Each structure stands twice: as structure tokens, then as C-alpha cells.
Structure 1
């Protein structure tokens, strides 16, 4: 009965091992078929092992444990995580100096750090790269707390810190799986759908393998949504505030709760799912608790210097950095044709305003009175935000991927399959984006999304 799934799982483990221990980011010719094979095997496992919860769950854990002692090979960010964590453990504020400033201008401070020697600092800075080392930290406080935990348990070992961070990622994925499955059941949706998150090679590679904290943020967010569905809005608000302090992205969702609190009504399918509205007082309290929770986590670091450094670094993502963008690249091309130079500094200020306008339209002109409709609005909002962003790293797709499982849309699953094309930018000769592959990625994703929105009910879908 389990021979074929077990065979697929063993092959997947071998491929994950090759991905984690025998792959260079610049070797796109190897990376692409490896990922494609893993995605196909995950699809088949989900398809043919329906109803066997513990089997699939065990496969998901096993695939993640393959990476346990692997140094991330598709991202350098973890070096900065370790740097920030060791500074914090020593009582230093990681937001006040860039790594370069620590080395070049404050050697007396660096010399006093027991767990960040000159040799170790050099290794971490070389690992994170000059671009990262020259900027202030933009990782919120709860994120920093996890960095410090890694430093606490592995004070003198980069690999040890990686293992601790990886265990945190695995626990977060298990938590997202647990509450996601319960929420699917409570919404009368197929709980098996959660395996499109838990067994997805994109999630396993980008979050467990490359140590991106989207998984931790999503754990707190899906837990909050589950509690909101259970009418425990205070705890839901606290968890959303915590998720904001892991990654700032959930701030984008806050306006969308407006109609859910004011017009929340019984579901047509099951009257036990939704209830009468919370009311304006609880809405105000919900927002207050969310924001207060997030603000409290920032207080230990707060100063005018912190505020300037943190906001300046966040602004760079909109006005300086470019990677795997879609609509922005079209606008950039138009700018070159009309004015003759890159207009990112101007466009980077305008695009966020358009995103805010779109979120407000979803807030006030869309009926988000049930939780599935609210999550659908969140999915549309974050997807629109990424489509207009100047920088879309692959791991960003984790958020729309998890959200889509509670809706009737599946285009983020397709996105998680084709976003791997963005890694073609990292070649043996350095960074150079292949805009044809970027275009292919977004034509496929946008095309599938349009098909789902306008034609899916007529033709059905292969992804359930």
C-alpha cells in the first residue's frame, strides 16, 4: 500500500540531500531540474497519499531533517542573523551600527565581545556580503530574539547557530501545520490541503533549508486567524502583533479586518462558523492590542537613532534594491525609454501609495464579513503588493502560498513552483538577471491567476 509513496519519499530525501550538501547557487543548470523533480514528487505524494495524515506528516519532518547540519547555500542572510544574535546576547543594540562600522570604527567595542572575535567577525561579514554588512539591521525585535537564542546555545559555532535556527524553523512549520489544519477543518475545507504547504519543496528549501523567518511569522499569523475564528480576538490581536515583530508584512493586513469586525455574519454553509459582528469598540481594541504588542517589542531598542536607522534601511527596499520584480520592471523600461535613466527613486515612492490605495479598496468596497473572504482579501492584497514591489525574493511567496489554502485560489502554488527561475540571476560570473525567465515566471503566475478568477468554475482545477 505504501510502497510507491515510500519510494517517492526515499528519492525525495536523496534529492534534498543533494540540494542541501552538493549544490552551489550559481549552478542553475543543476538547481532547476533538482527542484522540478522535488516538486513533481511532492505533487504525487499529496495526490496518491490522501487520508494518510501521519505518513505525509512524517515525510514532511524527514525532508526537513535532511537539512539539519547543512549550511544554507541559496542565501547569505543567516550570517547576518548570527551577527545580530551575538551582538544582542552581549547586550549590544544591533540596530545602531552596521557590521562594517563595528569593524572599522568601533574596534574597542568589538574587542570586548566575547562571542564575536575579530576572526569570527571577518568570517560573518565575508559570508553576509558587503551589501548586507554596509546596512543597518532591518529585522524586527522578535526576529532578533530568535537570533539571540541561536547565539545563546551556540556561542562559538556558526554551524551550531544554524542548527538552532533550523530547529526553530521546523517547529514553526509544525505549528503552522497544526493550526492551519485545524482552521481548515473549522471552515469546512479539506484539511489535506495543508500539505501543499508542509510538503511543498519551496517551503522546505527556502524556510528550513535557507533559514528565512517567513515561516515563523506565518505560524503566529495562522494561529491568530484560528483564534479569531474561535472568537478569541484579544489573543488573536496579540499574536498578530508578535507576527509583525517577526516580519513587518502583516501590517499590510490590518485595514482588512474592518468589515470582518463590523459586518461579521453567519456563514451560509454552516451557521456555527461565523457569528454576529464584534462591533466598533472591539475593532478599535483589536487594532490597539495589535499595535501595542508590536510597539512593546520595539521599546527595549527604541531611540531616535534606532528610528532613523531602521526606517532608512526599510526605505532601501523600495527605492534602491531591484530583484525579480514584475510590473516595476515594465515601468523601469518605460522610464529608460522616456527619460533615459532608472527612475526607481521616484517610482519607489509612488508604488507603495498605489498598494495602500488597493488595500483600502479591498477594505471598504469588498465584503470581508466571513473569515474565508477576509483571508481572500489578504491573499489579493499581499499578491498585489508583491506584483508592484521592486524586490521579490523567492521566500516572500510563502505568505500568499499559505493564505491561498484557506481560499478557492491556488495560483500561489504555481508561483511556488516557478519562482525558482529567479535564481538564474546568480551565475558563475556574478549577479545578472535573465529578464526572459523573470517574464516567464510572471506570465505563468498572472495567467493562472486570471484563469482561476474568471474561468476556473467552468473548467475546474487540477490543484486541490
Structure 2
């Protein structure tokens, strides 16, 4: 036993030291960081991205080592309350509502909190933790996400930390599932299976999913499982699982039109029927006459009221204000135009690009989602995580750079009024757009050279 340990140490000592250093930094991030301390946050993130790169570089063919490291990093966060996001308070609130047989799509927290007999554990602490904004709006989290919230309320022992731990375990298991199906899909597409660790060990993924309890990881588990089933020609079960992905987060809805050019007509109709039927079955327990109106109202606010870490929108806003435009009027107008542009781009990629094979389909998804984020007025750091996973299955790597540069947007968290630093955001997007243009040029030239030869 001792000889084996000694031999293992000699073979992997540098990688083990890198892992130990990462554990220390993640522990500092989880238990000793206030989001107002931007310099410390930035320093930790830079160091963690460097260590991530070196660990994958040294051990990219050692699946067990990388999987073990990723799991250990996640377990570091297990007992920590999220320190960069308040959203988890609303998650637990919604879960408590369902646990008490109340529909979270029908009740505003600001109204419920006035009730004397409110049967929600830790109600006042949860309400205060949400901040000023969330209590004013109906819940906008899809039904399957709500069921996870209710599970955390059921198993959380009526404590906030208990519910946090339950949600965190679900997210960790989902990330392990992403690795499992992601490796299978990479092999199916004749790509190196170690590439999945650019997702699994990415510090942004760890910090925002395991650390801050965003449920993109659960959505991506179902999403990548669905794509794997499609690669195996199990498209019926793939459709069902794809619907589950949408019912955690709505983002995969964007890609549904692409299947018009991926399947033949009869198969496409059946695929959409299964997706639609599964979604409806999950929506039915929450249905009421007010459901759609409340949900549409809340989702619409994200397009027309909020702005954070925007790229193109910030440029348009700067020009518009120079011509005496009113910012609050501009965001509402822009919010009405953005969905139209997005839908147009989706159909352009559907009908002007060949999406028959899965490689082309995933690349179309990557660019559609990237364009959507480029024009969106709100791009929270955890949004980039979907791009990170899609990138793994393509020839492009700009979203990996984006996952590092988006850390600059955390500056706003250090400000009492969440005011953004436009200089830092400009640096972020110059890096992203610059590398994207470089990749588009290089890859096009390589293809042209290959065709000539």
C-alpha cells in the first residue's frame, strides 16, 4: 500500500500539489469571501483558471484523476451559503410554497409576507435575503426546477443550510451526469473525451453552479443526455429528455426550430409532439387561468427592464444617450426588438445552414446562443456556462476565454448600487470578440487549405 502511494506521488506529485492549491483557493472563495471584495475575488479566479489549465494539461488522459479532482472541488462548497447570489433564497421560498400546496406562480412574496399565519419555514429570513427586487415578481422558474426546490424544502430539515445542501448535492450529481454523457457523446462524434473536463473543472462552472446554486447544470445534464440519445438514434427518448431540459431552464427552447433541418418531416413532427406533450404534462399541476399571464409578465421583465454586462446594448445605449434618449425608454424599446432579432437568427440558422449531422447542429446552437447573449441587455456570468459545454463539442474555444473574462463583470457586486464599470466590460468583450474573429478567420483558412489540398 505504502509503495503504491509513494509511486503514485512520484508520478503525479505536481498535479496533486495543483489540486491541493485549488482546494485551498476554493475553500477561501466559499467561506472567506465577501462579494464586495472585488480584488480578492478577481485574484482567486485568475489563480483558479491557471490551475485548471495546468491540471488538465498534465492529466488530460487520466479520467479518474480529473473526475476525482472535480468532485473534491465541489464538495469544498458543500456547507457554504452562496456568497455571490441571493437567488437561492427565492428557490427555497418557492420550494416551501409547493411543500405547503401553494402555487408559486400565483403568489407574490411581498403579499404573502403580510399574512400572520404564513406556513413557510424561515419566511422572514428568506424574504429579507431575496433583496428588494425578487419579492415584487411572480416566480419565473419552470416546473421541473420548482419540483427540485420543493424537494430541498422536504429534505432540508426546515433550515436554510439544509435546503442549500440538498440543492447543492443535486447540482453536483447533475455535473457528474454531464461528464458521463458528455464523454459518451464526444466519443460518438469522434472527439477526444478529455475535452469534457474543460466544462467539469472550469472555475466559473464550479463557482456559479455548485457555489451559487444556479440550475444551469441540471438543465445541461438533461440537454447533453438528450443529444447523446439523438447520436444513438434514440430520438423518441431524446425528445422526452430534451423537454425535461426545457422544464428546468427555458434556454433550450431557442434550438427547437433547428430540428426542422435535422430530421425528416414525419420524424420532426413526432419529435415536437413528444417534446410538447412532456412539457404540457409537467405544466398541468401548476395550471390556473392566471398562470400564463403571470409567467409571461415576469419573463418579459428580463427583456425590457433589466440590464447587466451587456455588449452591443451598451454601445447602442451610449450613442442613444448622446442624442438625448431616455435610458428607461430605450431598454423597453430594445427589449421588444431583441426577441425578434433572436427569432430571425434562429430561422436563418435553421434554413440556411445544413444541420443534418450532430456536429453541425451543435455548432449552430453555439452561434445562436452566442448571438443571443451578444445582443441581450442582461448577461449574468452563469449564462456563459451553456456556451462552455457547447464549445466542448465544436472547433471553437472563444467561450472558454469568455468564461474567464466575464469575471470582470463581478465588479458590480462590489458596489452598493450595483453600478457597472464600463471600462472592465469593454475589456471583457474586446477579448471575446477579438478571439472569436481570430477563430472564425483561422478555421475558415484551414478549411480552404484542406479543400485545395
The TM tier, using the shorter chain, reads over 0.9
* Aligned-CA RMSD value: 1.3
Contact kept in structure 2, 1:228 and 1:236, CA below 8 Å: yes
Contact kept in structure 1, 2:384 and 2:402, CA below 8 Å: yes
TM-score, L = length of structure 2 = 0.94
Residue 2 (structure 1) aligns with? 12
Shift of residue 330, structure 1, vs aligned partner? 1.3
Contact kept in structure 2, 1:24 and 1:73, CA below 8 Å: yes
Q: How does 1:40-79 map to 2 (within 5 A)?
A: 40-79=50-89
Match of 1:335 among 308, 313, 320: 320
Shift of residue 155, structure 1, vs aligned partner? 3.8
Residue 323 (structure 1) aligns with? 308
Kindly report structure 1 stretches of 4+ aligned residues shifted beyond 3 Å.
456-460
Match of 2:179 among 165, 177, 182: 177
State whether structure 2 residue 395 is matched by structure 1 residue 408. Answer: yes
**Mean Cα displacement is larger for which, 421-430 or 158-167?**
421-430
Contiguous gaps of at least 5 residues in structure 2: 1-10, 448-453
Task: Provide the aligned length of Structure 1 versus Structure 2.
Answer: 435
Q: How does 1:345-356 map to 2 (within 5 A)?
A: 345-356=332-343
Match of 2:359 among 341, 366, 372: 372
Residue 276 (structure 1) aligns with? none
Residue 281 (structure 1) aligns with? 266
Partner of 1:304, secondary structure, is: coil
Cα separation, 1, equivalents of 2:40 and 2:307: 25
Residue 241 (structure 1) aligns with? 243
Contact kept in structure 2, 1:260 and 1:369, CA below 8 Å: yes
Deviations 1:14-46 (A, max 9, x none): 000000000011110100010000000000000
Residue 299 (structure 1) aligns with? 284
Residue 331 (structure 2) aligns with? 344
Deviations 1:164-212 (A, max 9, x none): 0000000000001100000001111010100000111111111001000
Contact kept in structure 2, 1:27 and 1:428, CA below 8 Å: no
Contiguous gaps of at least 5 residues in structure 1: 262-278
Match of 1:446 among 417, 433, 436: 433
Match of 2:141 among 139, 142, 146: 139
Partner of 2:261, secondary structure, is: helix
State whether structure 2 residue 416 is matched by structure 1 residue 429. Answer: yes
TM-score, L = length of structure 1 = 0.92
Cα separation, 2, equivalents of 1:103 and 1:199: 40
Contact kept in structure 1, 2:112 and 2:118, CA below 8 Å: no
